[in-house]
Structure formats: C-alpha cells, structure tokens
Amino acid sequence: MRTVMRSVGICAALLAFVASAASAHRLAYPRRDSLRLEPGRLVLTVNHEMEEEGLSLKARFDHDEDGRLSDAEEGLLGAFLSHRIQRAVHVELDGAPLKLVVTSASVEDQPREPGGHDDHLGVVIVLEAPLPATGGVLSVSDVPPQGHRLPLAVVAEHVHLADLSMGRVIDATPSHETVEGITIEATPWRARVVPAAVSR
C-alpha cells in the first residue's frame, strides 16, 4: 500500500511540474490594447498573441499545407481576425457607439525554433473612429482572453482627460501624456475627454 501511495505521489508531483513548465511558456498578457486620443479622432490598436489557438488558425488558413502562411493566407487570416476583434471591442461616446473602422491588420507567423518556445501567431489590428470636437464621456470595453486581464495603455495628445475609472486627471492639452496601469476586466474603462480647442 505504501508503494502504491508513493507512486501516486510521484505521479502527482510530475504532473504539477509539467503543468508549471507549460504555464511558464504562456504569455502573461496575450492581448494588449492601446488607445490614442487626439482632436478629431481616436486610434485603437489591438495586439494579440495566440499560442494554442494560433496553431489551429494557422492550420485552418494554411491552404497549401506547406507549414507557413503566405502573404495571401496571412491577408485572409487578418481579415478574419479583424472582423472578430471588431465584434469584441466597443467604444462609446456619451452612450452612443462609435463606428470603428479597421485601417490595418498584420499577422506575424512565429514558427518554432530549435529548443525554443512553441510557435504562435501574433496579430496587430488598428481601428479608428472620429472623435467629435465637443468631446464627452468615452467608454472602452473589450473581451480579454479567458483567465487574463487586458492591459490598456492610453496616449492622450492635445486633450484634457479625466479618468473616471481610476480617478485621475491628465492635462495633455499642451503636448501628450501616456496613461499606464489600466486594465479592462468586467467593466469598461471610462473617461471624460475634452479636446484642447474646447478646453480653453
């Protein structure tokens, strides 16, 4: 009986070690957003690195099955992911949704290197929307990958920004300021934005 229990204990320890080793390769923040606010427009950049899901997407869009994504295949995958991200991201101004338009989509295929990490896909989607000169209360929400928080970096340029979620006021009317330490979880990030021309 002791031998059996000892074997069970060894197996449990090995499983725990394998799980911890696997998790060490996972990215702490597989998805990161950055928002740029300036008079007349806002630019939202979504940077998403996919490991397990990236493998299945790569196999799905690798039509010639050569193990790599051609430019045409990357373009199709980029369009697919752009559509998915457009559905996940919501930006509102004073309660009214802003129409986000994809201005660029790039896919980077990272193959496995000898002795390195598993291969994964990286995608960068850039979306833009007009920002009315009157400003207003801006709300940004996104759906983070399961089990992760979603960091949001905000760059304010020539606008006055009152962070309603964190209780901070950023006066970036003379030049520009970067706001760090924001995460999107269950609730959206909210801020009152006033362009420089209005704040004077």
Could you read off the pLDDT of 92-146 as tens digits, one per residue? 999 999 999 999 988 876 655 544 445 667 889 999 999 998 899 999 988 766 6
Answer whether residue 134 is part of any domain. yes
Quick one: which of 112, 120, 110 has its CA closest to 26?
Answer: 120
> Would the pTM count as exceeding 0.85?
no
Report how many domains make up the chain.
1
Comparing CA positions, the residue from 171, 187, 17 lying closest to residue 179 is: 171
- What is the structure's pLDDT at 111? 55
Q: How many helices (H) and strands (E) does the chain have?
A: 4, 12
In a domain, 14, yes or no: no
Q: Which domain holds residue 174?
A: 29-199
Q: What is the pLDDT of residue 198?
A: 52
Is 18 inside any structural domain?
no
* Cα(168)–Cα(161) distance, integer angstroms: 8
Q: What is the pLDDT of residue 10?
A: 38
pLDDT at 59: 75
pLDDT of residue 91: 94
- Hey, what are 47's tokens? 């940077």
Q: Is 154 inside a domain boundary? A: yes
Can you give the pLDDT at residue 160?
87
Only one residue has tokens 């606010």, namely 37
Low-confidence residues in the chain, pLDDT < 50: 2-25, 114-117, 199-200
SS3 label, residue 14: helix
For residue 168, tell me if it sits in a domain: yes
What is the pLDDT at residue 18? 34
The pLDDT, as a whole number, for residue 128 is 96
Tokens 């209005």 identify what position? 198
Residue 181 lies inside a defined structural domain of this protein: yes
